[in-house]
Amino acid sequence: MGTLLSVRDLWRSFGGLAVTQGVSLDLEAGSQEAIIGPNGAGKSTFFNLLTGYHRPTSGSIVFDGVEVSHMPPHRIVRRGMSRAFQVANIFVRMTVFENVRCAVQAHMGRTLDLFGNAESQGTERSREILEMCSLADKAETEASSLAQGDRKKLELALALASDPKLLLLDEPTAGMSLEETHETMKVVDGLNRTLGITVLFTEHDMSVVFNHARRITVLHRGKIVAQGLPDEIRNNEYAQEIYFGEKS
Amino acid sequence: MKFSRIGPASVFFAFMAIVPLAGSVFWTMIATEVLIMGLFAMSFNLIYGYMGQISFGHAAFFGIGAYATAMIGRTFGNDYGWFFLALAMSVPVAAIFAAIIGFFVIRRTGIYFAILTMAFGELMFFLVFSSYSVTGGDNGIQGLLPPPLLRAPSHYHYLVLCVVALCFVLLWRITQSPFGYTLRAIRDNAKRVRFIGVNVEFCMWVNFVVAGAFAGLAGGLWAPFTRSVAPTLLNWQESGIPVFMALIGGAYTFAGPLFGSLIYTLLHAWVTGVTQYWSLVIGLVMVFIVFLAPTGVVGSVLRQWRTPGISAPAEPKTPTVASPERG
Amino acid sequence: MPFDADLLMTQLVVGVARAMMLFLLSAGLSLIFGVMNVLNFAHATFLLLGGYIIYSVYSLIGPGILMFLLAVAAGCVVLAAIGFALERLVISRMYERELPEQLLLTFSFVLIIGDLIRLVWGVEDRSVSFNIEPLEIFGTFVNPYQFVVIGLGLAVALGLWMFLKFTRYGRIVRAAVHSREMVSALGIRIRLIYASVFALGLALAALAAGAFLPTAPMALGVDIDLIVQSFAVVVIGGFGSILGTFVASLIVGIVYAFSVLVWPNGALAVVFLIVVAILIWRPWGLFGSELRT
């Protein structure tokens, strides 16, 4: 398997403050990896850079053989990189099903279909995705009345609608109960193993990280300070010190 | 389509169809005004209720449509072919202006969108006002006559009824299309829509143009109705009208603005018969509505009756219009 | 029409004076938005109201420049009182509401106050004029009143800046721009701050009316011309920055003054070309922050 994502010497500063300082990272297709680091380490900014929400000050991001560092978010999504947010970002005044159907129709390129009937397009695929994220029973619920855990599941469902090759998950289990965490990570493992989707996630819960990531990258103050297999990171003194020492 | 969804609207259009039968020219013309302004308000609501941005300059397109029809009508006379062409041309002309203005205003959302639409609307008003040689300036254009068979108020009313009913169906289709749902998604959370692979700015621009085109048609119907056009058709007060109608009727119901037009137009006809201080009255009415019935009269009534609603989007629970990008 | 240096000089003075008037108006608009996150559509309508009040007070106590200044002071006080009361009674109930409702409320004020002015003062234009000898500068005659306006604008700009930077109240106001919760948490009486800021904004509008009155008449509809130009100012300068408002006011005022020479009917359009350029190049404004769009 080849390299799906290749980040080289990525920099980004906000008003003189360098938040991302020369990050380089390679991701093999089919892998499932985690990025960890204390609050403010630059994880979210890193995701924002990858997905085009912020433009890097310098550096390159090659995704699936194409330089994407200057593309707007929607074009990067269409190339097969999608993300789920840490704080659920959903369409609150639509039902769960309409949420996913809208994303599926966007992936089908139906967004500018002004006169077609939305109710007859992409419904099969939407049901499938809801099934996958165990949200099928809540399809007709208005998104604003979902519980926190279900919101995060819907967040994942929206990310899946674009049939991604690479899925970026920002704290996928934040705010979930133990049971929901387990369930969600099982879904994520399934996406990776059976559908071959490459997964890169950030997570605060160390047991989730060590159980579900095959490789871990430690980010601290905008720089990569350690990288390795879970066991290596567990025993890496530097990582322990900066991460576990400062863990809030 | 279930009856509960189209029921109230069917009753509305049926009622509009029988008004001229009563034989009163006054009430027939009021009904025509309700329909034209209702179309104007519904076009505005594509931007407000569905896309979540509030425009205080929508009259620019209403006025441009009216001027397009008036100027073509003035140039080529009022035989049937030219009349309908003049009427139809209000759509592309307004759309072109909406395309140009929209290109700039959709770059900002929330408060800035409101500011920019009002500012550009006033700019268009000013340009029409001051281009005396082209538009007649302050005097506007007078003496526009529809062709003979359409001159009777009741006849013109039925033409307007057909056009507005057709637009009603078209607008319904648009709001139920994948595009319509994408607009709702943008309204709820514009940032997230980017990450499902949608070019948000482009969608907003397309919607701005579509809304401008329908407003243009409403203006095109207006010019022969009042036999004249004047620059005030484009100004900020005119832009306030669809905003008021949408809020009176309920912006989160499909046909709400149409009912808002009914209430507003009747109120206007009554109050202006009593006092010249209409602005004061409608201003106070709006202050009361903002405080007492923020979901609009129709929206509030519907909630009281617990009927399923005239149509699609649910009542707002979480305000997100303020700044979709901030979420 | 040949442009000689004299004419350009005159227009420059007129433009800068106009810019200062716009600054007084826009600073209040910007301050109210920055602190309370409320857009006051009716800000220029309050200017108009202030202008009519100043006119009426002046016709009672005038004539004379000193009496005029007294009338302006009275206008500021009345408008500040109106602002304070309005914030406490109406605006303060809107902070938790949706943006469109807030906009609709202040938009309704434009209609209500406009009609109230018509009710009280009628539809005639009202103006105040002094017979001041024009001042000769470099061979050009300039109305010295323009320099008074310029001086006033500079003084207020400096005063506002120093107030925000160096006084305790100013620091609280600036903190409120960044985080309302934090200011409330500090136990500061945020409600008093809000009402005061609104009062200050309206007093500045009355001051702008005072600057405006001797150069052009108060008339119904003037408020819309002014609010549109003020909107252009805040879009160009970016909300919430006194410096941005100041620079943008200068740009709009001067560009407007010179455009009038070339294309009298299209001066506003030229101002809008700048707005359009800003929207393409820096949508968040010259001095606004990219993150706060």
Q: Report the CATH number that the domain containing residue C250 is assigned in CATH.
A: 1.10.3470
C116 touches B: beta carbon within 8 Å: yes
∠ CA C60-C65-C66, nearest 5°, is: 80
H or E segment to which residue A142 belongs: none
Please name which of A32, A66, A3 lies closest in space to residue A211, comparing C-alpha atoms. Answer: A32
Question: Of B182, B195, B327, which has the smallest distance from its Cβ to A73's Cβ?
Answer: B195
Cα distances (Å, whole numbers) of residue B305 to A5, A11, B2: 56, 58, 18
DSSP track, B237-264: HHHHHHHHHHHHH-TTSSSHHHHHHHHH
Let me know if B72 is exposed, middle or buried by CB neighbors in 10 A (0-12, 13-18, 19+).
buried
Residue written as tokens 């938790």? C96
Chain C residues with CB inside 8 Å of B130's CB?
265-266
Question: Of C94, C98, C266, which has the smallest distance from its Cβ to B322's Cβ?
Answer: C98
Cα distances (Å, whole numbers) of residue C274 to B8, B113, C248, C270, C286: 47, 17, 10, 7, 11
Predicted local confidence at residue B240, as pLDDT: 94
Across the interface, do B280 and C111 touch by the CB < 8 Å criterion?
Answer: yes
Predicted local confidence at residue B317, as pLDDT: 36
Across the interface, do A115 and B181 touch by the CB < 8 Å criterion?
Answer: no
Please name which of B311, B262, B239 lies closest in space to residue B12, comparing C-alpha atoms. Answer: B262
Residue written as tokens 């109406």? C90
d(CA B272, CA B36): 19
Calculate the average pLDDT of chain A.
90
- Give the B window 166-205 contacts with A, CB below 8 Å: 170, 173-174, 176-182, 184-185, 187-189, 191-200, 203
Residue-wise pLDDT tens digits, A113-155: 999 999 999 999 999 999 999 899 999 999 999 988 899 999 9
- B204's CB contacts (< 8 A; 6+ apart) are B51, B53, B102, B106, B186
Question: Of A89, A91, A118, which has the smallest distance from its Cβ to B180's Cβ?
Answer: A118
Question: Of B174, B189, B195, which has the smallest distance from its Cβ to A51's Cβ?
Answer: B195
Whether the per-residue pLDDT at C135 is higher than 80: the answer is: no
Write down which chains contact chain A via at least 3 CB pairs under 8 A.
Answer: B
Chain B residues with CB inside 8 Å of A53's CB?
194
How far B197 CA lies from chain A's nearest CA (Å)?
4
Write down which chains contact chain C via at least 3 CB pairs under 8 A.
Answer: B
Residue-wise pLDDT tens digits, A47-81: 999 999 999 999 999 999 999 999 999 999 999 99
Torsion angles phi and psi, residue A110, rounded to 5: -95, 5
Predicted local confidence at residue B207, as pLDDT: 97
Please name which of B34, B9, B8 lies closest in space to residue B20, comparing C-alpha atoms. Answer: B34
- B272's CB contacts (< 8 A; 6+ apart) are B278
Q: Is C289 domain-assigned?
A: no
Q: Which of A33-42, A231-240, B278-287 has the highest mean pLDDT?
A: B278-287
How far A242 CA lies from chain B's nearest CA (Å)?
31
A92 touches B: beta carbon within 8 Å: yes
Residue-wise pLDDT tens digits, C196-247: 889 999 999 999 998 888 888 888 888 888 898 998 898 888 876 788 899 9
pLDDT band at C260 (very low <50, low <70, confident <90, very high): confident
d(CA A167, CA A189): 12
Across the interface, do B189 and A110 touch by the CB < 8 Å criterion?
Answer: no
Q: B175 to chain A: nearest residue by CA?
A: A114
Please name which of B7, B13, B190, B12 lies closest in space to residue B107, comparing C-alpha atoms. Answer: B190
Please name which of C239, C276, C270, C240 lies closest in space to residue C253, comparing C-alpha atoms. Answer: C270
Domain ranges of chain B: 3-239
Q: Is C261 domain-assigned?
A: yes
Q: Is C166 domain-assigned?
A: yes
CB B263 within 8 A of CB B249: yes
Q: Is C119 domain-assigned?
A: yes
Predicted local confidence at residue C165, as pLDDT: 81
Whether the per-residue pLDDT at A156 is higher than 80: the answer is: yes
d(CA B191, CA B180): 17
CB A123 within 8 A of CB A94: no
The model carries a pTM of 0.90
Whether the per-residue pLDDT at C104 is higher than 80: the answer is: yes
Predicted local confidence at residue C74, as pLDDT: 94
Residue written as tokens 């009563």? B22
Residue-wise pLDDT tens digits, C75-99: 999 999 999 999 999 888 888 787 8
Cross-strand partners of A228: A216
Torsion angles phi and psi, residue C142, rounded to 5: -125, 140
Q: What percent of chain A has pLDDT over 90?
A: 70
Q: How many domains does chain C have?
A: 1
Cross-strand partners of A21: A11
Across the interface, do A93 and B317 touch by the CB < 8 Å criterion?
Answer: yes
Residue written as tokens 């999504």? A77
Residue A131: count of CB within 10 angstroms of its CB: 13
How far B22 CA lies from chain A's nearest CA (Å)?
37
Please name which of A39, A40, A10, A36 lies closest in space to residue A23, comparing C-alpha atoms. Answer: A10
CB half-sphere exposure, B139, CA atoms < 13 A: 8
Chain C residues with CB inside 8 Å of B286's CB?
104-105, 107-108, 111
Q: A91 to chain B: nearest residue by CA?
A: B188
Cross-strand partners of B51: none
Residue written as tokens 């960044």? C178
Predicted local confidence at residue B48, as pLDDT: 94
Per-run averaged pLDDT (10 residues), chain B, 327 residues: 65 93 93 97 95 94 96 87 94 98 91 89 90 85 89 94 96 95 94 94 97 98 95 92 91 88 95 92 90 68 46 37 33
How far C131 CA lies from chain B's nearest CA (Å)?
32
What is the span of the domain harbouring residue C220? 5-128+137-281
B153 touches A: beta carbon within 8 Å: no
Across the interface, do C107 and B243 touch by the CB < 8 Å criterion?
Answer: yes
Residue C92 has what DSSP assignment?
Answer: G
How far B185 CA lies from chain A's nearest CA (Å)?
6
Q: Report the greatest alpha carbon distance in chain A.
A: 61
d(CA C8, CA C11): 5
Cross-strand partners of A60: A8
How far C1 CA lies from chain B's nearest CA (Å)?
20
pLDDT band at A15 (very low <50, low <70, confident <90, very high): confident
C120 touches B: beta carbon within 8 Å: no
Q: Is C234 domain-assigned?
A: yes
How far B47 CA lies from chain A's nearest CA (Å)?
15
Predicted local confidence at residue A248, as pLDDT: 41
pLDDT band at C192 (very low <50, low <70, confident <90, very high): confident
Chain C residues with CB inside 8 Å of B48's CB?
100
B294 touches C: beta carbon within 8 Å: yes
**Peptide bond between residue C63 and the one before it cis (omega within 30 degrees of 0):** yes
Mean pLDDT confidence for C117-125:
88
B232 touches A: beta carbon within 8 Å: no
The ipTM is: 0.91
Across the interface, do B104 and C276 touch by the CB < 8 Å criterion?
Answer: yes
Residue-wise pLDDT tens digits, B253-308: 888 899 999 999 999 999 999 999 999 999 999 998 888 766 666 666 665 544 33
Q: Is C28 domain-assigned?
A: yes
Please name which of B308, B314, B280, B282 lies closest in space to residue B295, comparing C-alpha atoms. Answer: B314
Please name which of B45, B40, B46 lies closest in space to residue B62, comparing C-alpha atoms. Answer: B40
pLDDT band at C137 (very low <50, low <70, confident <90, very high): low
Q: Which of A16-20, A189-193, B243-247, C72-76 has the lowest mean pLDDT?
A: A16-20
Tell me the one-letter amino acid at B307: T
Mean pLDDT confidence for A174-181:
88
Predicted local confidence at residue C129, as pLDDT: 75
Predicted local confidence at residue B290, as pLDDT: 85
Torsion angles phi and psi, residue B179, rounded to 5: -60, -45
pLDDT band at C292 (very low <50, low <70, confident <90, very high): very low
Q: Which of C107-121, C226-240, C261-275 has the lowest mean pLDDT?
A: C261-275
Across the interface, do C103 and B111 touch by the CB < 8 Å criterion?
Answer: yes
Predicted local confidence at residue C179, as pLDDT: 66
Write down which chains contact chain B via at least 3 CB pairs under 8 A.
Answer: A, C
How far B123 CA lies from chain A's nearest CA (Å)?
30
Q: Is C266 domain-assigned?
A: yes
pLDDT band at C162 (very low <50, low <70, confident <90, very high): confident
Classify C151 as helix, strand or coil: helix
d(CA B258, CA B265): 11
- A180's CB contacts (< 8 A; 6+ apart) are A149, A152, A153, A173
Whether the per-residue pLDDT at C102 is higher than 50: the answer is: yes
Q: Is C176 domain-assigned?
A: yes
